[in-house]
Amino acid sequence: MSIPFLDLLREHREVAAETNAALARVLASGIYILGPEVESFENEWAQFCGVRGAAGVGNGTDALSLALMASGAIRPNQQDEVITSPLTAGYTSLAIIRAGAVPVFADIDPQTLTLDPQAIEESITHRTRAIVPVHLYGQMAEMPAICEIATRHNLIVIEDAAQAHGARLNGKRAGAHGQAAAFSFYPTKNLGAYGDGGAVVSNDPQLIDRVKRLREGGHQAALGEAIAGVNSRLDEVQAAMLRVKLKYLDGWTARRRGLARIYTEAFAGTDLETPHPLDESAHVYHRYVVQCAVRDELRAFLDSRGIMTMIDYPFLHHQQPLLIGPRTHRRLATAEASAERILTLPLYPQLRDDEQQAVIDAVKAWG
Ligand SMILES: Cc1ncc(COP(=O)(O)O)c(C=O)c1O
């Protein structure tokens, strides 16, 4: 049996009747960008996240850079620093650079694989303006500790929630902890569009208003100063698709958690280190990532059994030539050790039970 890492067609089949109807509705409406579907989705997404407002944009990278720009934390040409994780999608750092700041990388916690609050504190300088915690693989970063540090040092927190739709910590959803948060609706995400899409969410209506201006080129008078915006709009088709899929998200998340529980129980006593969720609701298993000292051997074995795996992410940001700044020469021991050990196994809501069992059997046959 060959086990694909992800099969989006299965998700589409679940929703096809509704998405086809929604698509026909949008095409017949004559309104294709930033219309009533986007506005409705923004309201529904804000409500889902438990925040006051949302702004739909073209993708998650733009959502993150626009949130930073709209926060007012980054001053032009000042080499302002933003602390983030070295273990994340490349887009996190690129968004920080695009917002006009310098990414500074702090080490991660070996269990959650998200930013270590103590390492953040040690990385703060007079140049630091913001923290971008990444809720990696669907696991929320330790937001209470991070927000407490930010408050003490007068820093802005913008959550990179691209992988954490619906995760919840201390009663608050991903996106509701910092000043603002960025979501991606790239098709493979827990809530995915049929193309690119993203959103900024915030409890600050002014910040959302600024993002709405910046996504259409910027607006001098409203910002009080000239900030060049971008062209990054969510279109009506994607918004309508997201509105359909949003109704399924809680069910899909429950299925992800169920599959994760089965993997974790099955791998007890093997050489695999399974994920360490902060608590049940803090992880939505965008990725199910194990750690293994002989990861490459395990990966080759699973591959020989027809099981596709991934390494998310093989390249640490503080080691990338483009991202090496004045203070990025430091070793980040935990991130460097983790990057050698991480392996993502197939897990998505439509993964069949027999396919999961085949993955488990293969891991056990190896170990
Ligand atoms: C953690 C993280 N941040 C940012 C992004 C950027 O999102 P997008 O691909 O929609 O620009 C992604 C997705 O690729 C991501 O996984």
pLDDT attached to residue 325: 66
Collect the ranges in the chain with pLDDT lower than 50: none
Beta strands in the chain (DSSP E): 53-57, 81-84, 102-105, 128-132, 156-160, 168-169, 172-173, 180-184, 198-202, 288-291, 342-345
Q: Determine whether the shortest distance from the Cβ of 159 to ligand 1 is under 6 A.
A: no
pLDDT in the model for residue 266: 98
Which pLDDT belongs to residue 323?
Answer: 77
Which residue's CA is the nearest one to ligand 1's atom 8? 60
- The CA 138 to ligand 1 mean position distance, Å, reads 12
Tell me if 91 CB under 6 Å of ligand 1. Answer: yes
Output the pLDDT for position 217: 87
Q: Tokens 């080759």, residue?
A: 300
Phi, psi of 192, deg, nearest 5: -120, 145
Candidates 113, 114, 107; CA nearest to 291 is: 113
Question: Phi-psi bin for 363: left (phi > 0), alpha (psi -120 to 50), beta?
Answer: alpha
Ligand 1 atom at shortest distance from the alpha carbon of 286: 16
Kindly state if the Cβ of 139 falls inside 6 Å of ligand 1.
no
Give me the count of residues in the chain.
367
Supply the pLDDT for residue 225: 55
CA-nearest of 82, 99, 104, 135 to 210 is: 99
Our answer on whether the CB atom of 59 is closer than 6 Å to any ligand 1 atom is yes
**What pLDDT sits at residue 77?**
86
What letter represents residue 189's amino acid? Answer: K
Q: What's residue 218's pLDDT?
A: 77
Distance 95 CA to ligand 1 centre (A): 9
Rounded to whole angstroms, the Cα distance separating 165 from 135 reads 10
Ligand 1 atom closest to the CA of 135, numbered from 1 = 1
- Which residue from 136, 88, 73 is spatially nearest to 285, judged by alpha carbons? 136
> Are 284 and 167 contacting, i.e. CB atoms less than 8 angstroms apart?
yes
Residue of 108, 185, 186 best suited for mutating to test ligand 1, as the one with most atoms within 8 Å of CB: 186
Q: What angle do CA 70, 126, 110 make, to 5 degrees?
A: 85
Helix (H) or strand (E) holding 340: none
Q: Give, rounded to a whole angstrom, the gap between the first and last alpha carbons of the chain.
A: 20
Listed residue (130, 136, 143) closest to 65, CA to CA: 130
pLDDT value of residue 45: 98
DSSP-H helix ranges across 72-167: 90-98, 117-123, 143-153
pLDDT at position 123 is 95
Question: 34 CA distance to ligand 1 centroid (A)?
Answer: 21
| Phi and psi at residue 248, to the nearest 5° | -95, -15
CB-count burial class (<10 Å; 0-12, 13-18, 19+) for 76: exposed
The reply to whether ligand 1 has any atom less than 6 angstroms from the CB of 232 is no
- In sequence order, which residues have a C-beta less than 8 Å from that of residue 221 and are 6 or more positions away? none
